[in-house]
Every structure is written in structure tokens, then in C-alpha cells.
């Protein structure tokens, strides 16, 4: 108990410096769960408090972080036509990915947590942990080359309008991470669409040729370190994009030319294992499924939503197969799951316990409708390449309504039985 | 199929509330509980579904130059549309009062105010501008009404839920309803851009 005594002695005074006190309190409760008891009313007490619940989600997506970091570097070098094997020049790819990912992660968390801390100090309550998960999700769903000021703006919008206006953690109606992503999508459409957005570190030079976009930290600092340790592979500032490379994601290929166009560029196993361009964390399906299983095993996320979402998407894709009006609809329904961010949305987005329906029957309806709407938006809506983000937001709006009618029907059923 | 497309388009893709922001006043005022919102939503579906074909007949057969009189009377469009809508609303009011006096009381002034609900006049004017035929105007009226109905019961359910939230005092009530409507508009943008006619044409 020595550590807790030491920390307690350092606790700032709540009256004289409220902001420091909230800051201290936020980190203190990371280490020790508070032992105040509630007075009045009935409360469930459990060691699994909000902070520990959230940390489970963050842990479940660690594999996606590792893979996403590496894949970002890998895609960058593939576009330049060097180190195209997946396990070549591991040091370069990891370093490159980290240099891209860390600023995104730091900015997203700094802005989001900063706003949370400020509100907590102003309202005089402890820090609500809601942003832990959002702050980990936002980097994973960002395109690799997102400008940091746009990211900061979108996070600020999502946290202030989407959460603090509703009263803070646990009260929001729309998923915060998705709201920030959708803000970027609609407010700055050019940064998040088009094929170039999904590969990091390319820029047009004066002759309108795509070249690598390295800064001093790549060519000066890290090349120096690699040379010191005798590595042969270095960041090459003169590298150019290979001819014919587009960086198109499987979905944009499928929208243009169906499954055949996709398999001309990517193999199904490549798509399944995730060495394709895309948002940072969405590409590797097996790792996402491992994360989903962790969430189900720890009962943090609802298996009902995940299962019904898979069923809804599969049924819709089969119906679209049967309709078969264009090449995208004809993509075999099981291959629809290989492309895009279905699994990521299923595991980490749709199961958000705050914005999803909260009754058991409601969860099944909610997940099923997300699957349907998402597949419809993906395939039938030419304006958007992928549908899950918008489908989940769409169903977030209707989740309270679903709950309302599930409750009403339960009430009337029980009244009849009585 | 064509009619179904128009219905879907009016209900989801070009939702009168969340894409055009029409009919906001009763949408914001009556969306405090799901029950009253449900009643008002049904009333709007009925009024839109009935006034649209009636207004179609008026504008095509009475007012247009190719109609029965052969005179261009389109300057009378607004006043005649409003008259039709007002009489339909009167009818709904009598029905609701007879069937469910409690709903009638909770809707209060907003039931007669459907007359000046811009979603309904707007629907009729869209119908003229888009040159729908008779059956298309029915589909558009029912679809638009259904979209309005969905939007109002969705926001009512959310507002019932956030009644227990710790909303900043300055935003309670209408402020929150405005923010919610904006956020719902973002969510409904997911379907914007789908073109049902182009899809069926490909078949």
C-alpha cells in the first residue's frame, strides 16, 4: 500500500486547483479502483468498472494496431515498387508505420482527452473514461495520410457535439468514433476518398509525378541509425511510384468492375490476411476476429449484435446476387466479407453498448438491420465506397425506437398473461 | 416498380425532414413522447397521402392550360393547395377527436397546425415541380409521409431516452432537439445518392 499512500500525499487540493485534481483523479483510478460506497438507492458493485470495461476493448484491438502499423509501411513500399515481399525490410516498414501512426494517435487522444478533462474540471466531476475507446478507435479507422488538423477538428466536433452536449460518457446517441470519421467524410471529402488516400507518404512533385514524401526524420535521423547498425535498406528520398500503380482498394475495384476486377489485382487470401490498402486497422480480418472473440469471451460486447449483423449482411448480399443488375451485385456473397471493413465495424463499432439497442431482442433487430443497410449502401449507393460507418450511424438513430417498441411489446405481453 | 422507387426515395433518400428540413415546427414541438409523435406522424401520412392526388387533379385539370377550362390559372395554385390541405386537416381533426380524445388533447394546437406544416405544402409543390403523374403523386405523398413519420418517432424515442441524461441546462429541450436533428440528418445522408431508377434501368 506504500504506493497508494505516496500518491495520496501528492493529491492536489480540489478547491484551489480543480483541473489538476481531476487530472490526478483520472490517473489514480487507473491504478486503484475507488472504494467509496454509494449512499441511498440500489447499486450493483463490481470490480469491472467503466475503466476496466473500456480497457478490454482497447486490449482486443492491439493486434489490429500492430498489423495496421506494419501494413501502412508495407503498402507505402509496395506503391514505390521496392521491398514488395511482405516480410522484407521489416525495420523500414515498422518505422515508417510508427512515424505515420503515432502523430495520428497522439493528436486524436490529446484533443479528445483534453476536451474531456476540461469539461470534467469545469463541471466538477471525475474524468469519464469514455474517450479511452474512442481515442483508440479513431486512429484505426482513419486513412493513413489524414492531415492532422482535420483529424483534430473532427475529434473536437465529435466529442463536443456528439458527447458533451448530451451530458458526457454513456449518454451519447451516436458513436463518437464514427461521428468524427463521418465528419471528415462529409466536410473534407477529398481527403478521405479517391484511391491515393489509402496509401501513406506519397506526394506529387513539380512534374506531376507521385514521389515518396520523406522528411528529415526518415532520411536524416532513422537512416543514420540504420547505417550505424549496418542495415542495407534505407529510406530512399528519390523513390518514385511504380507505373500502373493506383492504390485502389478492393471495394473501389469491385464497384467499377465486379469480382473479376478485384482478383486481377488482389488474391482472396491477400484480402483475408489484410496486406491491402485501406484504413489503418480494418484490413486484417483474422486479427479482428480474434479481437471480437476476446470481447465475446469477456462479455464486453454482445454476440447477438455480431451474429445478427453477419446474418443480415449475408442475406442482403445473397438477395443482391439474385438481383444481379450490375457487376458489383454479382460479387459472390461470401466474398463481400473479404472486402472493406465489415468485421471491424461488427466487432468494435456496432457493439458499442451505449449507442446500440439495449434489450436482447432489440439487439438482434438492430444488428440485422445494420447488416442490411450497410450492404445496401455499399453495393447500391455509388456515392460512398463503404457502408458500415453510415449504416451504424443510421441504426444508432433508431436504436432507442427499437428498444421502445421491444419494451412496449413485453409490457403488453405480460399484461395479457397477468 | 416505378411507384415503389418513388416511395423509397421520398421516405428515405430525400426525407422531407432530414434532407429538406421541412415541417420542422411540429416535428420539434410534438416529439417529446413516442405516443403523441406516433399519432401526429399517422396524421401527416394521411394528410399527405390524400392531399397529394387531390392537388394533382386540381393543378393538372383545373389550373393548367391543358385542363378542362383551357386557361392558365397557375397563379391560384398556392391558395387552392392550402384550401385542400386545410379541409383535409379538418377531417383528420374530427376523426382523431372522435377516436382518441386523449391523443387529441395531447396534440393540442399542433393538429390544426398541420395545415401550415410546410412538409405538406412542400410535398404538393415538389409534386408539381417534378411532374409526377396521378399514381406517382400518391406514392410520393405516402412515401414522404412515411419518412416524416419515421423521423418524428425516431427523434421522440431519442428524446425520451435523453430525458435522463445530464444535458447542460442551456441545451435542454429545444436546443438538444436541434442538435439531434442535425446529427440524424448526417445519419440519413448514408442513403443519399442511391438512385433507384438507375438501378432498375440496368436490369
Give yes or no for B185 touching A (CB within 8 A): no
Q: A71-88: per-residue pLDDT in tens?
A: 988 988 888 888 888 888
Which residue range forms the structural domain that includes residue B120?
22-190
Give yes or no for B179 touching A (CB within 8 A): yes
Q: A389-410: per-residue pLDDT in tens?
A: 889 999 999 999 999 999 999 9
B35 min Cα distance to partner chain A (Å) = 10
* Confidence at residue B193, expressed as pLDDT on a 0 to 100 scale: 74
Grid coordinates belonging to A57: 476493448
B30: in domain:
yes
Distance CA A69, CA A75 (A): 10
Distance CA A78, CA A65 (A): 20
B200: in domain:
no
Residues A77, A247: contact at Cβ < 8 Å?
A: no
Look at residue B200 and tell me whether its pLDDT is greater than 70: no
* Confidence at residue B201, expressed as pLDDT on a 0 to 100 scale: 59
Average pLDDT, chain A: 85
What is the value of ipTM here, to two decimals?
0.87
Confidence of residue A194 (pLDDT cuts 50, 70, 90): low
Percent over 70 (pLDDT), chain B: 97
Question: Cβ A397–B184 below 8 Å, yes or no?
Answer: yes
> Does residue A331 sit in helix, strand or coil?
coil
41-60 of B, contacting A, C-beta below 8 A: none
Look at residue B158 and tell me whether its pLDDT is greater than 90: yes
* Confidence at residue A146, expressed as pLDDT on a 0 to 100 scale: 86
Q: What are the backbone dihedrals phi and psi of residue A211, each rounded to the nearest 5 degrees, phi first? A: -125, 165
Option in B154, B160, B199 nearest A325 (CB): B199
Domains: count for chain B: 1
Closest listed residue to residue A172, CA positions, set A181, A164, A180: A164
What distances in angstroms separate CA B80 from CA A35, B51, B117, B185, one per listed residue?
A: 71, 11, 15, 32
Grid coordinates belonging to A319: 438477395
Q: A105-135: per-residue pLDDT in tens?
A: 999 999 998 898 888 888 777 777 778 888 8
How many Cβ atoms from other residues are within 10 Å of residue A355's Cβ? 25
Q: What is the DSSP letter of B22?
A: -
Which residue has better confidence, A288 or A231? A288
A391 min Cα distance to partner chain B (Å) = 7
B187 min Cα distance to partner chain A (Å) = 5
B156: in domain:
yes
Look at residue B203 and tell me whether its pLDDT is greater than 50: no
Strand-pair partners of A204 = A210
> Does residue A38 sit in helix, strand or coil?
coil
> Does residue A240 sit in helix, strand or coil?
strand
> Does residue A210 sit in helix, strand or coil?
strand
Residues B141, B123: contact at Cβ < 8 Å?
A: yes
Distance CA B45, CA A27 (A): 54
321-340 of A, contacting B, C-beta below 8 A: 323, 325-326
Distance CA A123, CA A354 (A): 22
Residues B52, B46: contact at Cβ < 8 Å?
A: no
Q: A11-54: per-residue pLDDT in tens?
A: 777 777 777 777 777 777 777 766 666 777 777 767 777 777 88
Question: Cβ A161–B183 below 8 Å, yes or no?
Answer: yes
Residues of chain A positioned with their CB less than 8 A from the CB of B153:
401
Size of interface A-B (CB pairs under 8 A): 100
A221 min Cα distance to partner chain B (Å) = 44
For A8, what's the count of Cα atoms within 13 Å in the CB-facing half-sphere?
7
Amino acid at each position: 500500500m506504500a504506493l497508494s499512500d505516496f500518491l495520496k500525499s501528492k493529491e492536489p487540493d480540489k478547491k484551489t486547483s480543480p483541473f489538476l485534481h481531476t487530472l490526478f483523479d483520472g490517473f489514480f483510478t487507473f491504478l486503484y479502483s475507488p472504494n467509496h460506497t454509494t449512499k441511498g438507492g440500489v447499486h450493483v458493485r463490481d470490480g469491472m468498472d467503466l475503466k476496466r470495461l473500456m480497457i478490454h476493448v482497447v486490449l482486443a484491438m492491439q493486434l489490429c494496431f500492430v498489423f495496421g502499423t506494419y501494413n501502412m509501411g508495407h503498402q507505402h513500399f509496395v506503391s514505390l515498387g521496392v521491398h514488395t515481399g511482405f516480410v522484407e525490410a521489416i525495420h523500414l516498414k515498422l518505422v515508417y508505420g510508427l512515424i505515420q501512426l503515432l502523430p495520428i494517435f497522439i493528436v486524436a487522444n490529446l484533443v479528445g482527452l483534453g476536451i474531456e478533462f476540461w469539461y470534467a474540471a469545469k463541471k466538477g466531476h471525475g474524468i469519464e473514461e469514455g474517450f479511452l475507446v474512442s481515442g483508440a478507435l479513431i486512429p484505426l479507422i482513419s486513412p493513413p495520410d489524414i492531415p492532422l488538423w482535420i483529424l483534430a477538428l473532427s475529434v473536437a466536433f465529435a466529442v463536443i457535439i456528439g458527447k458533451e452536449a448530451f451530458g458526457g460518457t454513456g449518454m451519447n446517441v451516436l458513436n463518437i468514433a464514427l461521428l468524427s470519421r463521418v465528419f471528415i467524410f462529409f466536410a473534407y471529402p477529398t481527403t478521405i476518398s479517391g484511391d491515393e488516400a489509402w496509401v501513406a507518404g506519397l506526394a506529387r512533385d513539380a512534374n506531376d509525378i507521385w514521389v515518396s514524401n520523406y522528411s528529415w526524420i526518415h532520411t536524416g535521423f532513422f537512416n543514420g541509425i540504420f547505417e550505424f547498425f549496418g542495415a542495407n535498406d534505407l529510406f530512399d528520398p528519390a523513390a518514385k511510384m511504380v507505373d500502373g500503380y493506383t492504390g485502389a482498394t478492393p471495394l473501389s475495384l469491385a464497384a467499377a468492375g465486379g469480382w473479376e476486377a478485384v482478383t486481377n489485382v488482389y488474391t482472396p487470401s491477400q484480402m483475408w490476411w489484410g496486406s491491402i490498402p485501406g484504413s489503418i486497422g480494418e484490413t486484417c480480418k483474422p486479427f479482428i476476429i480474434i479481437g471480437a472473440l476476446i470481447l465475446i469471451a469477456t462479455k464486453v460486447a454482445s454476440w447477438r449484435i455480431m451474429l445478427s449483423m453477419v446474418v443480415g449482411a449475408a442475406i442482403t448480399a445473397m438477395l443482391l446476387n439474385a438481383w444481379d443488375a450490375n457487376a458489383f451485385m454479382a460479387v459472390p456473397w461470401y466474398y463481400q466479407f473479404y472486402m472493406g471493413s465489415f468485421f471491424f465495424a461488427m466487432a468494435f463499432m456496432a457493439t458499442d453498448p451505449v449507442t446500440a439497442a439495449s434489450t436482447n431482442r432489440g439487439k438482434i433487430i438492430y444488428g440485422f438491420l445494420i447488416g442490411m443497410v450497410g450492404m445496401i449502401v455499399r453495393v447500391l449507393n455509388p456515392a460512398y465506397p463503404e457502408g458500415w460507418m453510415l449504416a451504424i450511424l443510421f441504426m444508432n438513430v433508431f436504436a432507442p425506437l427499437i428498444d421502445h417498441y421491444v419494451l412496449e411489446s413485453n409490457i403488453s405481453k405480460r399484461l395479457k398473461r397477468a | 416498380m416505378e411507384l415503389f422507387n418513388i416511395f423509397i426515395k421520398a421516405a428515405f433518400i430525400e426525407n422531407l425532414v432530414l434532407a429538406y428540413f421541412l415541417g420542422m415546427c411540429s416535428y420539434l414541438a410534438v416529439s417529446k413522447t413516442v405516443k403523441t409523435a406516433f399519432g401526429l406522424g399517422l396524421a401527416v401520412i394521411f394528410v399527405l397521402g390524400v392531399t397529394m392526388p387531390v392537388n394533382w387533379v386540381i393543378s393538372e385539370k383545373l389550373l393548367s392550360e391543358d385542363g378542362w377550362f383551357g386557361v392558365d390559372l397557375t397563379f391560384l395554385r398556392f391558395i387552392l393547395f392550402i384550401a385542400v390541405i386545410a379541409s383535409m386537416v379538418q377531417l383528420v381533426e374530427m376523426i382523431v377527436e372522435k377516436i382518441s380524445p386523449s391523443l387529441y388533447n395531447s396534440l393540442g394546437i399542433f393538429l390544426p397546425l398541420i395545415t401550415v406544416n410546410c412538409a405538406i405544402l412542400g410535398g404538393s409543390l415538389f409534386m408539381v415541380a417534378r411532374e409526377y403523374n396521378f399514381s406517382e403523386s400518391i406514392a410520393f405523398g405516402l412515401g414522404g409521409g412515411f419518412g416524416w413519420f419515421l423521423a418524428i418517432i425516431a427523434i421522440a424515442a431519442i428524446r425520451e431516452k435523453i430525458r435522463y441524461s445530464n444535458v447542460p441546462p442551456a441545451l435542454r429541450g429545444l436546443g438538444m432537439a436541434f442538435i439531434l436533428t442535425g446529427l440524424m440528418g448526417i445519419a440519413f445522408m448514408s442513403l443519399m445518392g442511391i438512385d433507384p431508377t438507375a438501378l432498375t434501368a440496368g436490369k
